[in-house]
Structure 1
Amino acid sequence: MKCNQLLTLTLLGLGVSAHAQENQCPAPVDSSDLVLREAGSGIEVKALKTEVEQDRLAEFVGKVQIISDSAQINAQQARIDKVSQQLNASGNIRYQDEQIKVSSEDVQLDFQSGELSLDSTEYRMLGINGRGKAERIGLSREKGIELEDVSFTTCPAGQEDWQMVASSITLSPGDIWGEAKHARFYLMDIPVLYLPYFRFPVTDQRQTGLLFPQISSSDSTGLSYEQPIYWNIAENYDATFSPRAMVNRGVQLKTEFRYLTQQHGGQLDLEYLQHDRREVNEDPRYFYRFVHKGSFAPGWQVNFNINGISDDNYIVDLGSDFYNRADTHLYRNAGIQYHTDNLSFSADIRDFQLIGNHPDSYRALPELKLDYVQPWFANVDFNLHSELTYFDSAEKNAPAATRFHIAPGLSWSRFENWGEFVAETTLLQTNYRQQDAEVYGLEEDVSRTIGRARLYGGMTFERPGSWFGSDITQTLEPKIQYLYTSYQDQTNIGLYDTTRLQNNFAGLFRGQEFTGLDRISDTNQITLGLTSRFLDENDQEQFRLSLGQIFYLSDNRVLEAHKDTNRSALAGELDWRLGSKWFVHSEVQMDSASSKLDKSSLSLDYQMSENKLVQISHRYVRELSGEQIDQLGVTASWPINPNWHWVGRWYKDMNSHRTIESYAGVQYESCCWSIQFVTQRYLNNRFDQTGGQSTNTFESGIALKFIFKGMGSGNTARALLNDGLFGYRQPYFLNE
């Protein structure tokens, strides 16, 4: 009876990751009715009638039950010959262990050799949906297991949409690989694949072999076939090689290498195309990416993120698993960090590769930061922020600079359930050493000293109320902040890492108008904000409205921060749970002087379940880099019936009155197989020789994917949803 484990391992290897659909596929059978003996207690035989002949022959008739510590056999009759050490059972045989059930016409067991043989069998996996037939199943301690004329499928009985049939399957003891001979794969009773010999894993461990191919077609690549080949190098190392044949462009090789140790982990990706048929030049095209994270000592961490491509159009033409055609930079960062409860230190190199004709940005080579916090007394903390950075640019007409910044400060804070109060004062000292400064109208050595003071307070008031007939708790949360920053002329400092920030409601209380440190605006201002929430009986947020604005008490003298009005744009945010499935999210910024809308976003979500949702969204920006953005979008995922599922996305540019992106995917999924078909059309955005991007050329493509459920597949419906709904996000999650 010890050989049953070999049988279990082999058949489990054929049926890993099977998936049953709710209300359609039969639920996996469990083994709760299996009763076994204690380990080492031998075999127990029960029957309605027993005959024993001189302690050498025993016959059992009627509801025979043979129980060991690992398996159980039920039969109509059984015979045990103690001289030949043979057991024979027949008549409605039922074999079962913790992971499989087998029905058979006849069972023979040799106690001396441990060989077990079952004839004319039907088996079913326990815990997953996997079943099949075998003309004979033989097991032994020395040879292992052999299944003759065996079939396997994950489909329910009478609905065998696909199945595998083999003349024999064998597994040697201790081997994690099984061998199949003359294997045929059938789809709807139609043979689609024949393999005279192949090996397959019999455990859920990672194993070397072929993964499911990816078939697609687009205007750029033509028909494309990608075949991933997985190599399980070691327990903590693996690699995937993916040759990709494209009718229009040639053969590309994509590789992925992953590693994981106790302290470190990372991934190296390389893609290479020797010659692109659609390109005039003969230069190879490539992409590389290296990501690493690790720890080499207590408190110390190291990370790398290095990316590069051969040309601006690589991602546009060939696609990418890591970037999209809208990206303008590929980042190349490397750094180390150290953290304790009071101290944090980082040393980073921040570089990048520009894509297309975009203004070059400064690289930080390197950037050193040190932050220190020390509690003193009575809620007073001492804070110190410092950084040392060398800036360089690939542009010939751009100065380089070294910047040292140190900002000691004191802060007092108090946080209660009913409110919070913060008082801060900081001294900001920055020194610059700028190269070739006179050529650019700058000074070589600049010292800038600025003082800053901040007072912030917020309170929370609550009262009971009613909301559409339901009892709720309404909150009123006023906030006020006073910010003062002294002035110093900064026109003699270049712009190295500084741009203007956009203000939403949270940004009103940020206390700064620029990224980086090259411009620190003088401020004398008061910020007012008000938030109101409606909470139901379970303290779940049903509604939230926030409004805020900055009032300038004096004009800015820093030129880049100059304003024509005495107040900022009015910023508002709205989150509203219209019901258990309806959600509204909106952000608005309105110019106070002209009463014109500067920026807005609005989304209406309906989400009945994980795969049943619709989102309608609108985005508007009055001016962004000299252009106006006005886009309307619809995103949806919806089951057509229990087997068919549809996802789609559509975006229209309201200014040009044209569709800029459309995507549709449909999937058929049964208990045991699925097929996905995707079509899409989008702006090509290809770069010309000068680095400019086309905004009038569109790209179209289709993709097809077929999956045998239970042969290394996962949740295909969720995968289609993730692939299809680019960037779909429910805009907020209240109390979740």
Structure 2
Amino acid sequence: MRFPLAIAICCAPITGWSQTQDEQPVTTEQHCVVRLPSESRSDADLSSRDDTDPTIHVSADSSEATAGQAARFQGNVNLIQGLREIQTERAEVSQETGTFSADGGLIYQDPAVMIKAQSLTADIDDNQAELTQAQYWLNGQQVHGKAEKLQILGEDSMLLEGATFTTCPQDDPDWLLQAKTITIDAEEEWGEIWHAKVKIFDVPVFYVPYMTVPVSDKRKTGFLIPDFSTSSKNGVDVSVPFYWNIAPNFDATLTTQMMSSRGLFLKGESRYLQPWGEGKINLEYMGNDRLLEDNSDRYMLHFEHGGKLTDHWRLYGNFTTVSDDNYFSDFKSSVQASTDNQISREGEASYFTDFWNASIKVQDIEVLGDTKKPFQVMPALSLNYYQPGLYGPVDFHFNTELTRFSHQESSQINATRWHVEPTLTLPYQIPAGSLTTELKLMQTWYEQDDPTGQYDDFVSRTLPQLQINGKVNFERDLTFAGQPFLQTLEPQIQYLYVPHTDQSDIGLYDTALLQEDYYGLFRDRRYSGLDRISDANQLTVGLSTRYLDSINRERAQLAIGQIFYFDDPKISLDGNEEIPERQSNSALAAELQLRASERWFLRGGVQYDTNAGSTNRSEVLLDYRANDDNLVQLSHRYVPALGTDIDGQSIDISQAGIRTSWALTDKTYFVGNWYYDMNLNRSVESYAGIQYESCCWAIRLAYHRHLNTNYDDQDFTTISPNNEFDSGLSLKFVLKGLGSTGPLGVRDMLNEGLFNYRKPYYLRN
């Protein structure tokens, strides 16, 4: 606050100035707006001001001035200097002492703060001012309060004595800090508070000798709000996180967590952001877990990085290790979900240009609970070259990959694989359809070191492949329920030919069977990886249709297709080629997505074996969405032969579920889900949570019960009604503005539990 001595005095209102009688909001946050006094100015008033202008412009009903000494003003006094303004009844400016004073009630405003006070004394030369019996509001923030004495120290900070501090918008806030001293730095956007009592609904709840609080969303080192929960497995669980703002591009969160059944659990997460990439490091540790028979230590280490060194070079790394297979089942981690049963460790460096790219990659995958370890990729070198328009309309693509597979167990096979795949493509595309012909040659060499002698030392495999894919686009106008629609009809046909060659002398290193949904019918591979390339002499026929409304928004999608085999494929994962896997055709695959109205949505998929008359897989999701916070989802999924029962018999998975979130009031939400196993007649997971959230504070109470996975059990793959369940309560309470914004509505609650919420539609808007 500064008032140079050059003064222009007038007794009439300043030209172009208009006072608004409406209250002005500090912030536009929905339903959470701090209202300023009616005398406050609007932001539009600032646009015509010059902050570099040293002149004080004054208007008043009457004035009295002595040249070179002082000036006194009475009645509706308005002082404006740059972006600063004071409204008061009486004011005096002394040029001799370099001071300014006002009393009888006043309002001070600048871009950072608005203050309503009884009196003001300012030192013009030192840029300081003192106000008594003040009320303050930080412009653009939710922060406001009162002070017996308020000092403005320079341009960007304030010192308050006998003060209160709150981020609640109302005049009678639900919570506030009552402190002996508060310092607010408007530039740094943080406040320091000494000897504070926290009052909730005017009741003191705890005392804090010193604390810092944000006056915006700027990050600051300090403790965050603790979490409380109970669990039948972990007991009473209390976690206290500490946030460390190391640098603008580097921070860490350190959490001390106490579990009454297990012991002390320490967690740390550090994040960094650099011009050459971003990443995070997680370290978690529990010493002497009391629930384990040997009281062994538990730990987890995770590192992830992604970024670029130059415009051409890309780097990616991901490494995770845990002390035991049950780690993610027993502890909630930000690295991996409890339902994940694989840990991937990989590193990759890639180089990209317009027409070619190359990479080197290492990878190690650990399957939790499985004594049979996968192969490690140590390393894989790949090169891809693209040449569109190589000869007229013909495109050329060349891919080669050299991979070394190793194994941690000395009794297992090790191998080196070199694969070369040149491809010629003839595309033809017009709005009415497309026809693409592709011819490729797949040449693979293997060098295998097999201690058992099951596989040959050297194997060479040569396979040509022909793929012809054609699609036609039809459309027509129609009317349904009185509304105009555009319907498309898109038949698609594909012929694929790959000759058969014996591959039983090749080990399985990175190969698995791919899922045959509708879009998978048009793939040229049945298996992932390169160790098995299935023979094919087949025709795929598919038909899809879409419905678009008058604003070209997709309202429905339906697709159905099937593969017809001229020759049954003989290649299998187990090497048995005596019995064909298919008979004349594949499963019939269908997909449906429907936006029946603005609130009703449906998605479904099925693979039906027409030969056996049975369903291979199915899933359906039905959504009712009144808005983003009010929804109900019904779901069912069926997967045959996913596991075995206690008698060793194959068992299907048939699960039905319901998930909902609903606003009980404008501030209270309920979220719940329930999933039921229809084969074993038992609940798989139950969750119910209720949350109240206002502009000032939020509280959430939740209950959960779900299946536990124990990889130490030798029969962990057995699907049995006697599996272990974990249940418990969790409580979260936050005061907004004290280091946390609190729960973010119902969105994060919808993702609680084993099954996350998924939208049942992927229609194009």
TM-score of the superposed pair, with normalisation by structure 1: 0.93
Match of 1:665 in 2: 689
The 2-side partners of 1:152 and 1:723 are apart by 34
Identify the range of structure 1 (454-463 vs 370-379) with the bigger mean alpha-carbon deviation: 370-379
The 2-side partners of 1:489 and 1:720 are apart by 51
The answer on whether the counterparts of 2:215 and 2:737 sit within 8 Å (CA) in structure 1 is: no
The 1-side partners of 2:189 and 2:629 are apart by 37
The 2-side partners of 1:684 and 1:449 are apart by 47
The 1-side partners of 2:309 and 2:121 are apart by 60
Counterpart of 2:478 in structure 1: which amino acid? Answer: G
Aligned counterparts, 1:494-643, within 5 A? 494-560=507-573, 562-624=580-642, 626-643=650-667
Q: 1:91 Cα shift? A: 2.3
Identify the range of structure 1 (683-692 vs 198-207) with the bigger mean alpha-carbon deviation: 198-207
Aligned counterparts, 1:275-294, within 5 A? 275-294=288-307
Report how many residues are paired. Answer: 721
Match of 2:12 in 1: none
Q: 1:176 to 1:473 in 2, by over 3 A?
A: closer
Aligned counterparts, 1:372-521, within 5 A? 372-375=385-388, 376-395=390-409, 397-436=411-450, 439-521=452-534
Q: 1:460 to 1:30 in 2, by over 3 A?
A: farther
The 1-side partners of 2:139 and 2:703 are apart by 39
Match of 1:221 in 2: 234
Q: 1:157 to 1:176 in 2, by over 3 A?
A: closer
Residues 1:707 and 2:717 aligned together: no
Q: 1:634 Cα shift? A: 0.7
The answer on whether the counterparts of 1:292 and 1:305 sit within 8 Å (CA) in structure 2 is: yes
The 1-side partners of 2:219 and 2:539 are apart by 60
The 2-side partners of 1:102 and 1:569 are apart by 74
Identify the range of structure 1 (575-584 vs 391-400) with the bigger mean alpha-carbon deviation: 391-400
Match of 2:74 in 1: 61
Counterpart of 2:760 in structure 1: which amino acid? Answer: P
Counterpart of 1:342 in structure 2: which amino acid? Answer: F
SS of the aligned residue for 1:494 comes to: coil
Alpha-carbon displacement from aligned partner over 1:588-619 (angstroms, at most 9, x marks no partner): 11111122222111111112222221111110
The 2-side partners of 1:143 and 1:599 are apart by 64
Q: 1:538 to 1:204 in 2, by over 3 A?
A: closer
The answer on whether the counterparts of 2:237 and 2:260 sit within 8 Å (CA) in structure 1 is: yes
Q: 1:51 to 1:482 in 2, by over 3 A?
A: same
SS of the aligned residue for 2:521 comes to: helix
Q: 1:232 Cα shift? A: 2.1
Alpha-carbon displacement from aligned partner over 1:425-479 (angstroms, at most 9, x marks no partner): 1111111111126x25321111111111111110101111112221111111010
Match of 1:652 in 2: 676
The answer on whether the counterparts of 2:142 and 2:215 sit within 8 Å (CA) in structure 1 is: no
Identify the range of structure 1 (292-301 vs 479-488) with the bigger mean alpha-carbon deviation: 292-301
The answer on whether the counterparts of 1:30 and 1:127 sit within 8 Å (CA) in structure 2 is: no
Counterpart of 2:734 in structure 1: which amino acid? Answer: I
Alpha-carbon displacement from aligned partner over 1:78-119 (angstroms, at most 9, x marks no partner): 122332232221223111122332111111112233331111
Aligned counterparts, 1:24-39, within 5 A? 31-32=42-43, 34-35=45-46, 36-39=49-52
SS of the aligned residue for 1:593 comes to: coil
Q: 1:552 Cα shift? A: 0.5
Residues 1:354 and 2:382 aligned together: no
The 2-side partners of 1:479 and 1:143 are apart by 67
Q: 1:719 Cα shift? A: 5.3
Counterpart of 1:151 in structure 2: which amino acid? Answer: T
Aligned counterparts, 1:248-287, within 5 A? 248-287=261-300
The answer on whether the counterparts of 1:220 and 1:699 sit within 8 Å (CA) in structure 2 is: yes
Identify the range of structure 1 (269-278 vs 624-633) with the bigger mean alpha-carbon deviation: 624-633
Q: 1:334 Cα shift? A: 1.0
Identify the range of structure 1 (383-392 vs 725-734) with the bigger mean alpha-carbon deviation: 725-734
Alpha-carbon displacement from aligned partner over 1:630-667 (angstroms, at most 9, x marks no partner): 00011111110012111111100000111110111111
The 2-side partners of 1:701 and 1:693 are apart by 25
Q: 1:175 to 1:374 in 2, by over 3 A?
A: closer
Q: 1:142 to 1:727 in 2, by over 3 A?
A: closer
Residues 1:677 and 2:690 aligned together: no
The 2-side partners of 1:141 and 1:622 are apart by 73
The 1-side partners of 2:756 and 2:301 are apart by 24
Counterpart of 1:717 in structure 2: which amino acid? Answer: G
Identity %: 37
The answer on whether the counterparts of 1:542 and 1:577 sit within 8 Å (CA) in structure 2 is: yes
Identify the range of structure 1 (458-467 vs 212-221) with the bigger mean alpha-carbon deviation: 212-221
Q: 1:403 to 1:577 in 2, by over 3 A?
A: same
SS of the aligned residue for 1:150 comes to: strand
Alpha-carbon displacement from aligned partner over 1:489-528 (angstroms, at most 9, x marks no partner): 1111111111111200000000111111111111111110
The answer on whether the counterparts of 2:709 and 2:716 sit within 8 Å (CA) in structure 1 is: no
Counterpart of 1:430 in structure 2: which amino acid? Answer: T
Q: 1:41 to 1:326 in 2, by over 3 A?
A: same
The 2-side partners of 1:203 and 1:699 are apart by 39
The answer on whether the counterparts of 2:224 and 2:740 sit within 8 Å (CA) in structure 1 is: no
Match of 1:729 in 2: 758
Residues 1:343 and 2:356 aligned together: yes
The answer on whether the counterparts of 1:643 and 1:670 sit within 8 Å (CA) in structure 2 is: yes
Aligned counterparts, 1:115-126, within 5 A? 115-126=128-139
SS of the aligned residue for 2:328 comes to: helix
1:151 equivalent among 143, 164, 167: 164
The answer on whether the counterparts of 1:118 and 1:138 sit within 8 Å (CA) in structure 2 is: yes
Aligned counterparts, 1:82-101, within 5 A? 82-101=95-114
Two-structure CA RMSD over aligned residues (Å): 2.4
Identify the range of structure 1 (47-56 vs 24-33) with the bigger mean alpha-carbon deviation: 24-33
Alpha-carbon displacement from aligned partner over 1:14-71 (angstroms, at most 9, x marks no partner): xxxx997745766789842645444133211110111224552322111110111131
SS of the aligned residue for 2:102 comes to: strand
The answer on whether the counterparts of 1:504 and 1:572 sit within 8 Å (CA) in structure 2 is: yes
SS of the aligned residue for 1:133 comes to: strand
The 2-side partners of 1:164 and 1:20 are apart by 24
Q: 1:125 Cα shift? A: 3.0
The 1-side partners of 2:544 and 2:156 are apart by 74
The 2-side partners of 1:497 and 1:143 are apart by 62
Q: 1:197 Cα shift? A: 2.6
**Bigger RCO of structures 1 and 2 (CA < 8 A, at least 6 apart):** 1
The 2-side partners of 1:449 and 1:290 are apart by 40
Residues 1:81 and 2:94 aligned together: yes
Match of 1:12 in 2: none
Q: 1:541 to 1:306 in 2, by over 3 A?
A: same
Identify the range of structure 1 (720-729 vs 670-679) with the bigger mean alpha-carbon deviation: 720-729
TM-score of the superposed pair, with normalisation by structure 2: 0.90
Q: 1:337 to 1:30 in 2, by over 3 A?
A: farther
The answer on whether the counterparts of 2:634 and 2:657 sit within 8 Å (CA) in structure 1 is: yes
Q: 1:492 to 1:114 in 2, by over 3 A?
A: closer
Identify the range of structure 1 (198-207 vs 383-392) with the bigger mean alpha-carbon deviation: 198-207
Counterpart of 2:585 in structure 1: which amino acid? Answer: R
Q: 1:236 to 1:61 in 2, by over 3 A?
A: same
Identify the range of structure 1 (70-79 vs 149-158) with the bigger mean alpha-carbon deviation: 149-158
